[in-house]
Structure 1
Amino acid sequence: MCRLLKVARSSFYAWLASERARAARRAADDALAHEITVLHIASRHTYGVPRLHAELRRLDRRVNRKRVKRIMRERDIAGITRRKRRSLTRPAKKAVPAADLVGRDFTAAAPGRKPVGDITYIPTDEGWLYLAARLDLATREIVGYSMADHHRASLVVDALTMAAGRGRLHRVLQSQIGVRL
């Protein structure tokens, strides 16, 4: 049979001799799967691999995280992710694309001539923190920023005011956006 399957005879006998070790491994995996299932049910089916691994470690059960992941995958045990994606953009009533004021040219001849910016949000324990930043295209330096618990236009205006107050905006640009110092 080994010749027909093109397997070395020594490999067959090694596989045959390791049957006891494989059975012990299966029994250990079944016992671990039972513990994982009990912990998973105790967590109301919410814990995933990281939390179940931490619980097992807390109970002085030294087990590899990858092994926990494999056993959970084999037995279709999965945690619940309750985090929701939050969209900050809302479609306009009439979809009119914004004008490209930079003209896809992200270079500037002198500092303070072309500020660009973005708004991002950061989850904190107290809620969302919104950050507006102004970047000077000539120096690639953040020249103004503003943080608040909202993402209204005043957040962007405060970032521009900070950039102008630090003397990082060109005077012509300051008059165009109406920033008074």
Structure 2
Amino acid sequence: MKKVGAVISTTIFCFVFWLLYTLPFAGQYDFNKVMEEIIVGLIISFITAVFTAKFFIRENAFWLFNPVKLFSLIAFVPIYIIELFKANMDVAIRALSPKVKINPGIVKIQTDVESDYGLSMLANCITLTPGTITMDVTEENGQHYMYIHWIDVTSQDVKTASDSIKGAFEPWVRRVFK
């Protein structure tokens, strides 16, 4: 039963993304074209889920359908966009200024996120914002750490660097993946 739930939830997840990516281009006024996209999307989503559900779902198959977690994920999107904009502006100002003000280096940050998915999401959020790249995620003495290449190292202190780099991301990632 656990495998069936995993396949169903993965099918739904894939199908939602299929709809988001294909329906805007499916000929908005052609009902037959839209129905074709929906049917093909369901088939492809199901086939994909059969082969990949075991990699995506480990415990509760429908965890993302929890309204609190789903709302937290949706509410995180504008926060991520704002942080992305701020990081882009910071890097653009550094790149366009006559005197380049950078102090690149690798720092170790500590995170309270525990799940694999949460660590992956946090690492991707950090990497996708300009000026930082997540190089490694490790566990030491039951605590998770990330090694980040940072464009302007302002502190080597783990706590200070952690607060500066993970900023607004970590609380939202914990809400979604806890």
TM range (shorter): under 0.3
TM-score (norm 1): 0.24
Which fold has the larger relative contact order, with Cα–Cα distance below 8 Å and residues 6 or more apart in sequence? 2
> Which protein is bigger by CA-based radius of gyration?
1
TM-score (norm 2): 0.24
Normalized per residue, which structure has more helix?
A: 2
